[in-house]
């Protein structure tokens, strides 16, 4: 009779499922990992000089167009504000307006479209002694579309990201101004600013039933509401208003940007007087007015700097470039 074998024993401990999944994710991440390398290191030697020159020229175009377009957008919204043109902010399709502005500052076939204000063109040329070379968007392909879409994304997220901080600057200014009014029965403080921000940004009442706190919260709320266009009243919060009516909300941000600028200029000497007194209290007398709050001004629309910017280059642009250089038939582009 054959001898029976005992149970087979495995010496190793099987991996837990979590560890197996973790290992799998690491392996997947390794496969998707990318590296940044100099452009000329991936070009074939016979094409390297041409391609580097081509991409540098395209990056220069994008940089110029973005810089000019952001300035033109700022020029147009300020001009509409100065003219008290509420309809411009209320009825304009912001997405189409930005594309129109990018199209306006770039020549096509050596000519401008009729969308650029003459005053803006003359201002740019005058500042550069009529030696400025306006950029061209000839043969840019999809890079032009990617460029203005990226700027559109920057504009639409500018105030949704920074609104609460910008609102706090404005409310600190209003608190100081309210507290300087001699007929005010109640002084405003940081808690009132917090309550107003919660009400405006999140539709929450943090006054805890205190009638004085509620009154001051409403005062600050009204100070914001009366600087917005009427559509503000259609939404429960400032966040919703900016997300749904981001172009219209630029009117509010221009308004508070100018008020903050005026406030800072008006109180500049007072701030210096306080600084002198704090450094040398025995030499310089203490000012009779309170020290103004330390607030920063806001950015109405993001302005592109003059640094060289990158471009996006997709397969359609590649085919168009190869066809232009007679490396493939034009019908393949």
Q: What is the pLDDT of residue 108?
A: 84
pLDDT in the model for residue 277: 95
> Would you write out the chain's pLDDT as a tens digit for each of its 333 residues?
455 555 554 445 455 666 777 777 666 665 556 677 777 777 888 878 888 888 888 889 999 999 999 999 999 999 999 999 999 999 999 999 999 999 999 888 888 877 888 899 889 888 888 888 888 888 788 888 899 999 999 999 999 999 999 999 999 999 999 999 998 889 999 999 999 999 999 999 999 999 999 999 999 999 999 999 999 999 999 999 999 999 999 999 999 999 999 999 999 999 999 999 999 999 999 999 999 999 999 999 999 988 888 888 787 887 877 787 777 887 766
* Nearest-angstrom CA–CA distance, 84 and 167: 22
Task: Note the pLDDT of residue 9.
Answer: 47
Eight-class DSSP state of 297: -
What tokens appear for 157 in the block?
């997220």
Q: State residue 253's pLDDT score.
A: 97
Looking at residue 41, what DSSP letter applies?
A: G
Yes or no: say if 309 and 58 are a contact pair by the CB < 8 Å rule.
no
At 198 the pLDDT is: 96
CA distance 138 to 145: 13
Q: What is the distance between the alpha carbons of residues 100 and 152, in angstroms, rounded to a whole number?
A: 12
HEC profile of 116-180: CCHHHHHHHHHHCCCCCCCCECCCCCHHHHHHHHHHHHHHHHHHHHHHHHHHHHHHHHHHHHHHH
135: left (phi over 0), alpha (psi -120 to 50) or beta: beta
Residue 26, token pair as written in the block: 């690491």
**pLDDT at 22 (0 to 100):** 73
- pTM (predicted TM-score): 0.83
How far out from the chain centre does Cα 71 lie? 14
Count of alpha carbons within 13 angstroms of residue 281, beta-carbon side: 1
Beta carbons within 8 Å of 81's beta carbon, 6+ residues apart: 251, 254, 255
Question: Is the Cβ–Cβ distance between 189 and 171 less than 8 Å?
Answer: no
Q: How many CA atoms lie within 13 A of 315 on its CB side?
A: 1
Handedness of CA 221, 227, 233, 236 (dihedral sign): negative
Count of Cβ atoms closer than 10 Å to residue 116 Cβ: 19
């Amino acid at each position: 009779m054959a001898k029976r074998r005992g149970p087979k024993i495995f010496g190793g401990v099987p991996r837990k499922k979590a560890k197996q999944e973790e290992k799998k994710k690491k392996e997947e991440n390794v496969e998707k990992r990318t590296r940044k390398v100099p452009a000329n290191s991936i070009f074939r030697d016979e094409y390297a000089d041409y391609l580097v020159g081509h991409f540098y020229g395209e990056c220069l175009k994008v940089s110029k167009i973005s810089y000019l377009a952001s300035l033109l957008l700022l020029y147009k919204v300020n001009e509409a504000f100065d003219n008290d043109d509420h309809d411009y902010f209320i009825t304009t399709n912001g997405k189409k307006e930005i594309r129109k502005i990018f199209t306006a500052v770039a020549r096509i076939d050596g000519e401008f479209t009729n969308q650029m204000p003459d005053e803006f063109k003359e201002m740019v040329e005058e500042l550069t002694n009529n030696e400025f070379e306006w950029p061209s968007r000839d043969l840019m392909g999809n890079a032009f579309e990617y460029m203005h879409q990226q700027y559109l994304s920057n504009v639409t997220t500018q105030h949704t990201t920074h609104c609460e901080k910008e609102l706090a600057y404005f409310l600190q200014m209003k608190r100081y101004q309210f507290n300087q009014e001699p007929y005010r029965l109640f002084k405003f403080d940081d808690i009132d600013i917090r309550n107003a921000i919660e009400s405006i940004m999140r539709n929450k009442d943090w006054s805890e039933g205190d009638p004085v706190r509620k009154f001051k919260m409403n005062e600050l709320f009204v100070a914001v509401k009366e600087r917005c266009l009427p559509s503000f009243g259609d939404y429960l919060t400032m966040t919703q208003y900016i997300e749904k009516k981001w172009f219209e909300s630029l009117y509010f941000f221009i308004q508070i940007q100018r008020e903050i600028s005026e406030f800072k200029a008006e109180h500049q000497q007072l701030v210096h007087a306080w600084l002198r007194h704090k450094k040398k209290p025995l030499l310089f007398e203490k000012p009779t007015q309170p020290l103004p709050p330390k607030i920063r001004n806001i950015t109405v629309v993001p302005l592109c700097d003059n640094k060289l910017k990158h471009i996006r280059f997709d397969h359609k642009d590649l085919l168009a470039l190869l066809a232009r250089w007679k490396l493939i038939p034009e019908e393949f582009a």
